[in-house]
Structure 1
Amino acid sequence: MTPLGKTQGGVLSSRQIQAMVETGAIRAAAPLAHGQIQPASLDLRLGAKAYRVRASFLPGNGRGVGDILSALAYDEMSLEGEGAILERGCVYVVPLMEGLALAPAVSGAANPKSSTGRLDIFTRLITDRGERFDDVEPGYSGPLYAEVSPRSFSVRVRKGSRLNQLRFRARPQAGQGGFALSDAALAEIHGRTPLVDGPLNLRDGVVLRVALGSTAFGGVIGYRAQKHTDVIDVDRIGAYRIDDYWDRLPARDGRLILDPGDFYILASRERLAIPPGLAAEMAPMDAAIGEFRVHYAGFFDPGFGAGDRGSPAARAVLEVRSREVPFILEDGQFIGRLVYERMAETPEALYGEEGVSNYQGQGLKLSKHFRVE
């Protein structure tokens, strides 16, 4: 095991997550499915019912999500069998099949899965008494819920569909500092194991710049979601034609004008790799750098992007939405950053090694639901 894997605090590995299942810290309504435990996270499954709600909410201190749903008598939908269609622009709350009984030193953080973000499905985790989305307080014991709001496409989901994932963190020991690695630590690691394939730019994490040049992806620099399409079944892989759902964006002088409300799939200029003893997360964007946002934060597991001898080989795919006004993006513009954390131990199997990855070595890539033609 590498020195990075020996620290006691940090992101829990697949082996440690499996141990949490066996000891009851993770409680599941049915046995976990194949591939549900990832190298540094747990995929969460939708339960048997969904509740359509008028607006998003947080329960706050002293209140349970189930109590709020019961009191307000929201519409109830069954997700059994063939499931149900979640309509674009509507908000749903779904009890998940997994619940938790965490130790006092263990907390959690959730994110949409990569495929969920690339379908523009706004998905956030809610806990009982929770005052923040996607955060699980240390020692939390209780059920989990997903708030689901499709933004670009109506989608079909069913019991067992996986839209978001949960990463667990063990509190660092005294003297180890916080979870995120400093820029100085990242520079030192990059000197031994390259994190990106070019110059390392640091700004409270590794800076990512957008690729809009004509040579980056064969003349197509991104995709824009169409506004009126058929439903997408989130459990059907490679089932849909790209041109039925997306407009291809040709390269034009290294610029792209983002129209307000439109949803774009772009990619980073940098190729990156996540070393075995680290995990990373796309940080939320700062509005001060432009009138757009990278719509979903995202987890990057240990081993993601590793090519020959661990060299950086995969780009970060970016889900982008403009804010209130049109905004011009230019090739090489700062568009995001990756925050790195240490693993509590190096996972036994890295990202892509067990045949459950759809995005290892990716370039500009839509979600796994679309077939390459």
Structure 2
Amino acid sequence: MTQTPTVGVLADHQIRAMLDAAQIAATAPVADGQIQPASLDLRLGDQAFRVRASFLAGRDRTVADRLAQFQMHEIDLTNGAVLEKGCVYVVPLIESLALPAGMTAAASAKSSIGRLDLLTRVITDRGIEFDRVPEGYVGPLYVEICPRSFSVVAQTGQMLNQIIFRNGKTIMDDDALRALHAKTPIVDGDAVISDGLGFSVDLRPDGTDLVGYRAKPHTGVIDLGKLGHYDPAEYWEEVRTDKGWIILDPGAFYILVSREAIAIPPMAAAEMAPYIAMVGEFRVHYAGFFDPGFGYAEAGGSGSRGVLEVRCHEAPFVLEHGQIVGRLVYEHMAAMPDALYGREIKSNYQGQGLKLSKHFG
């Protein structure tokens, strides 16, 4: 593929062209459903390396160099293996890249993985940031995996992360985002636009006092290949309130939901970003990408809530209904996707509200 001159996030057919041009290479054929409207799912390779600590390669080193320093032991993933809570692993991915000039890439955990409090971050040779692939990068991809709340069973070929490809400067400024909202509403009600679309937490849901879930501290293993299998009550405590606020406990992991119903029109993609540190001592989100069509009415969405993966830090914190907790940064697409999230492809979270990962029945 010759480099597309259009600025924006690459669409599904452009990702296929990158595969045809060997700008994306893989040691196994592309799997069904691996290409999403504006992203590519990345697959685990055959081995996981238990390491002493999380690391970045640094400008002058490869990931293999760092593994030689910090590797503790090697685990075979071909038949599945347990990755233990609180441990750090590095797994070579099946996919590798040879990006053309002007193109960068960014990775994120897939939605179901973030909802399991499974910290997964892509790293590269000579990399100085997690989940960011610099312009023109040629080389392998690795994922660092750190289970935070639950030990998991992982296996070769499973897709924990996704990657998008950016040609040029793709982010919409506030004026462009306001124009998009005026043409195709991106949120129900008033849009709070400042360096992206602000969204808030829903702690007064209609008809119920169930506002979220909190991960239990001592649970069994979750097999990432088993969908609709686990009883939520064995892994999660329900969080209920009729007061419009909750207190977040330090170190605890919560699943909450946005008050706003969000839509991503076909010629846009979005990434969830933290708001500002001054709003409170907590982090919102581990999984960050929203494909074109998410929550979009013509793709069967009619507005979908954003599920919030929340971890409180040093001090207990009072979180109140309607408090702004994050923002969506919208980006221009380089082309119209062949398929939209929730319409032409199977999408687990179209039209969602408060919802645990697809591993729970």
Structure-1-length-normalised TM-score? 0.93
AA of the residue aligned to 1:259: D
1:11 and 1:170 in contact (8 A); partners too: yes
Q: Distance in 2 between matches of 1:232 and 1:310?
A: 30
1:197 and 1:311 in contact (8 A); partners too: no
Give the 5 Å matches for 1:174-185.
Answer: 178-185=169-176
Give the 5 Å matches for 1:107-122.
Answer: 107-122=104-119
Give the 5 Å matches for 1:330-341.
Answer: 330-341=320-331
Give the 5 Å matches for 1:305-324.
Answer: 305-307=295-297, 312-324=302-314
2:200 and 2:259 in contact (8 A); partners too: yes
Percent identity (aligned): 56
Give the 5 Å matches for 1:288-303.
Answer: 288-303=278-293
Change in Cα spacing, 1:164 to 1:209, as seen in structure 2 (3 Å) is same
Give the 5 Å matches for 1:85-164.
Answer: 85-164=82-161
Structure 1 residue 7: deviation in Å? 7.9
Change in Cα spacing, 1:7 to 1:264, as seen in structure 2 (3 Å) is farther
1:214 and 1:251 in contact (8 A); partners too: no
1:194 and 1:312 in contact (8 A); partners too: no
Structure 1 residue 50: deviation in Å? 0.2
Q: Distance in 2 between matches of 1:38 and 1:10?
A: 16
Structure 1 residue 183: deviation in Å? 1.3
1:367 counterpart residue number = 357
AA of the residue aligned to 1:212: L
2:84 and 2:151 in contact (8 A); partners too: yes
Q: Note if 1:232 corresponds to 2:222.
A: yes
Structure 1 residue 297: deviation in Å? 4.6
CA-to-aligned-CA distance 1:70-119 (integer Å, 9 cap, x gap): 344431000012x1100000000000000011111111000010011000
Structure 1 residue runs without a partner (length 5+) = 1-5, 172-177
- Pick aligned residue for 2:257 from 248, 267, 288: 267
AA of the residue aligned to 1:9: V
1:257 counterpart residue number = 247
Give SS of 1:74's match.
strand
1:245 counterpart residue number = 235
Give SS of 1:203's match.
coil
1:11 counterpart residue number = 9
Structure 1 residue 252: deviation in Å? 2.7
Q: Distance in 2 between matches of 1:190 and 1:68?
A: 46
Give SS of 1:184's match.
helix
1:155 and 1:231 in contact (8 A); partners too: yes
Structure-2-length-normalised TM-score? 0.96
Structure 1 residue 67: deviation in Å? 2.4
AA of the residue aligned to 1:280: A
Q: Distance in 2 between matches of 1:34 and 1:135?
A: 25
2:21 counterpart residue number = 23
2:170 and 2:333 in contact (8 A); partners too: no
Give SS of 1:70's match.
helix
Q: Distance in 1 between matches of 2:71 and 2:310?
A: 35
Change in Cα spacing, 1:151 to 1:189, as seen in structure 2 (3 Å) is same
Give SS of 2:175's match.
helix
**Which segment is superposed worse, 116-125 or 281-290?**
281-290
Q: Distance in 2 between matches of 1:21 and 1:256?
A: 47
- Pick aligned residue for 1:53 from 17, 36, 51: 51
1:273 and 1:314 in contact (8 A); partners too: yes
1:77 counterpart residue number = 75
2:187 counterpart residue number = 196
Q: Distance in 1 between matches of 2:83 and 2:234?
A: 19
Change in Cα spacing, 1:71 to 1:290, as seen in structure 2 (3 Å) is closer
AA of the residue aligned to 1:51: F
2:52 and 2:70 in contact (8 A); partners too: no
- Pick aligned residue for 1:207 from 198, 201, 205: 198
Q: Note if 1:38 corresponds to 2:36.
A: yes
